[in-house]
Structure 1
Amino acid sequence: MSKFTKKKSGDTPPISTASLPDIIFMLLFFFMTVTESKDSDLMVQNKLPVADQVQKLDKKDPVVYVYAGKPLPKYQNKFGVNARIQVNDKFIDVSEVGHYILNYREGLREGLRDVFITALKVDAETNMGLVSDIREKLQEVNALKLNYIVHEGSPLKQR
């Protein structure tokens, strides 16, 4: 008769790591496709005003953001304390707003040139004169779709 041997207790089979690189690359590709990159660093103060008549945009039209407000403290030595206009990662003058919007429009596909939106993110403490100047420059270059970005709430209550 043959001898029977008992299995040693407590031994676990080794874990197979053959599929580990596949899992890692799958996770890498997932996060690369899902993550959105940051467009620009904010260089101005941006405490948005409050409004009660707020409506969300449904379409996914291309949007160019124009920020306005006082420069952050780390930029005040170089640019002063008066309200400035920021587009992408640089400050521009009011006279340059139309030129920037035209360049942005030229970079779009033909079908999207008429539907892009200019979104203004203006600090609550910024003078309305600066906003009015920006609007005039946008009208000069026929960028008439304008969106003001605000927080939803009652404007009578302090935030």
Structure 2
Amino acid sequence: MIKIRRRRHEVPALNTASLPDLIFTVLFFFIIVTHMREETVQVKYKVPDGKELAKVGRKSSVVHLYIGKPLTGTAAGGYRLQLGNRIVTLSQLVDYVSDLRGRMQQEDAVQMTVAISADKDVDMQTVMDVKRALRQANVQRITYIGNEEK
């Protein structure tokens, strides 16, 4: 009788030669798609809770307007408006929004949206004055930032 020997088959080792390429590709992907906050918030604000929240479309056409108490100093003067990295007054808001629109690309300027992040304790008169100033600056889209109600 002939004896047949069977060889033991081993699983080949995993080839890790292309692993660094894969890791760097994923790293570059996340570097490219990550949006870093360009402005430093200089006011204290806590946004109110909302029931009907929706995502904003093009983020490149969104300008954030923060309404809150100043981080430094006293809040005796009331609430401050921050647009971009600048603290602006209500009278400066129209000119500064127009300046921001002028620096945007054409398609972003057409779809410009001002996202208002107002402190939940801000009186409605302040918000209405800001909206009136934004209408004077020909802003067509205004959204309010809020937390999802739990």
2:96 to 74, 97, 100: 100
Q: Output the CA distance in 2 between the equivalents of 1:57 and 1:23.
A: 32
- Provide structure 1 residue ranges, at least 5 long, that are not aligned to the other structure: 1-17, 155-159
Cα offset for 1:117?
A: 0.6
Cα offset for 1:124?
A: 0.6
Secondary structure at 2:110 match in 1: coil
Maintained 8 Å contact 2:113/2:141: yes
- Provide structure 2 residue ranges, at least 5 long, that are not aligned to the other structure: 1-16
Q: Output the CA distance in 2 between the equivalents of 1:99 and 1:37.
A: 26
**Alignment map for 1:43-54 (pairs within 5 Å):** 43-52=42-51, 54=52
1:136 corresponds to 2:135:
no
Maintained 8 Å contact 2:112/2:140: no
Deviations, residues 67-119 of structure 1 (Å, cap 9, x unaligned): 001112xx125x75621001122211011111111111112222332211111
1:120 corresponds to 2:116:
yes
- Give the corresponding residue for 1:6: none
Secondary structure at 1:70 match in 2: strand
Quote the RMSD (CA, aligned, Å).
2.9
- Give the corresponding residue for 1:55: 53
1:76 corresponds to 2:73:
yes
Secondary structure at 2:43 match in 1: coil
TM-aligned CA distance change 1:25 to 1:126, over 3 Å: same
TM-score (norm 2): 0.74
Q: Output the CA distance in 2 between the equivalents of 1:150 and 1:144.
A: 20
- Give the corresponding residue for 1:39: 38
Cα offset for 1:120?
A: 0.4
Deviations, residues 23-72 of structure 1 (Å, cap 9, x unaligned): 675455234213321221211111111232x1313522510000001112
81-90 or 130-139: bigger deviation:
81-90
Q: Output the CA distance in 2 between the equivalents of 1:57 and 1:28.
A: 26
Deviations, residues 108-146 of structure 1 (Å, cap 9, x unaligned): 222332211111000011122211111111111211211
Q: Output the CA distance in 2 between the equivalents of 1:149 and 1:106.
A: 24
TM-aligned CA distance change 1:147 to 1:25, over 3 Å: same
Q: Percent identity?
A: 29
Flag the structure with higher strand content. Answer: 2
**Alignment map for 1:7-18 (pairs within 5 Å):** none
